[in-house]
Amino acid sequence: MFSCGHRGLSLIELMICLTIFAIGILAITRLQFLSFRTMNQGLLRAVAVQQASNLLVRYRILRQGNAFNAAFVQWQNNLRQWLPEPSIVFTALGPFCTFHLAWQPLATVFNPEGIPLDLLDELDYSG
């Protein structure tokens, strides 16, 4: 009544299949994390560009007199709501200005040894 044919999966075959499946799931999870981090970095960069444009408009409108100094302080305070740990270096000479805007990323990045890397994202403008 018993046939000599091979029917079903052996325990070894099943373990190999589950291992391959688990590796695939881990790879998909890693890709999701990387895409989430990249999306957050893109969002912060878009916010930084928008805020930099806002600062340039304020400078061009208010650079005569002392009105820009107060607007710059207000802009810096508002910037803390939009970017994590922002730092800015702003220099102006007549109608021209230069600034360097840097901020911390939202997600901590680790090197292969597991040590956190201190990465800054930056935006430079001169004009």
pLDDT per residue over 90-99, tens digit each? 888 877 888 8
Quick check: is 85 in a domain? yes
Quick check: is 111 in a domain? yes
Quick check: is 2 in a domain? no
Helix H or strand E encompassing 41: helix 11-62
Its pTM stands at 0.66
Quick check: is 18 in a domain? yes
**pLDDT, tens only, 54-102:** 888 888 888 776 788 888 888 899 888 888 888 888 888 877 888 888 8
**pLDDT, tens only, 11-43:** 888 899 999 999 999 999 888 888 887 888 888
Helix H or strand E encompassing 92: strand 87-93
Identify the domain containing residue 29 by its residue range: 11-126
Other Cβ atoms within 10 Å of 119 Cβ, number: 12
Q: C-alpha dihedral over 69, 71, 73, 75, to 10 degrees? A: -140
Domain count, the chain: 1
Read off the pLDDT of each residue in 107-114 and give the average, rounded to a whole number. Answer: 59
